[in-house]
Amino acid sequence: MASAALFVGIFLDIDHIIDFFLFSGERFSISGFTSWCYEGRWERLILIFHSYELYALFGLLVYYNPHPVLLSIFWSVGLHLLLDQIGNRYLIKAFIISPWFYFFTFRAWGGFYKDWMTTPRKLRGR
């Protein structure tokens, strides 16, 4: 259970790499990837696994199949999403991520564009 929770808790961020390949147009390198993510150079993000909707669907699966491994993955993903929701909001100095960011439908509604999902800090007087 612990191994599954740890693996999935980390593996969940693989969608950042998928988005990097889809949208960056850059050749992959660790430094290029981390700066693309954490300096906010991205213009679009899908982040398929960082979605409360997907998490809710997985929760239904776990509810009807309460296997200990699925339960540990469920709690691990929930903790990951919660910590991302709290910790990533102000991670990048140039903008603030919307509180709705981790809803897939919110991101899709705005075409997965940064301008839809973020607010520049200078507009908030910071």
Which residues lie near Zn ion (CB under 5 A)? 13, 84
Q: Is 113 helix (H, G, I), strand (E, B) or coil?
A: strand
Residue entry with tokens 């309460």: 66
Buried b (16+ CB within 10 A) or exposed e, 47-67: bebbbbeebeebeeebeeeee
Q: In terms of CB distance, is 49 or 95 closer to Zn ion? A: 49
Nearest distance from C-beta of residue 122 to Zn ion, angstroms: 26
Rounded CA separation 89/74 (Å) = 22
Nearest distance from C-beta of residue 52 to Zn ion, angstroms: 13
Nearest distance from C-beta of residue 41 to Zn ion, angstroms: 18
Q: In terms of CB distance, is 13 or 114 closer to Zn ion? A: 13
Residue in the shown chain whose Cβ atom is closest to Zn ion: 84
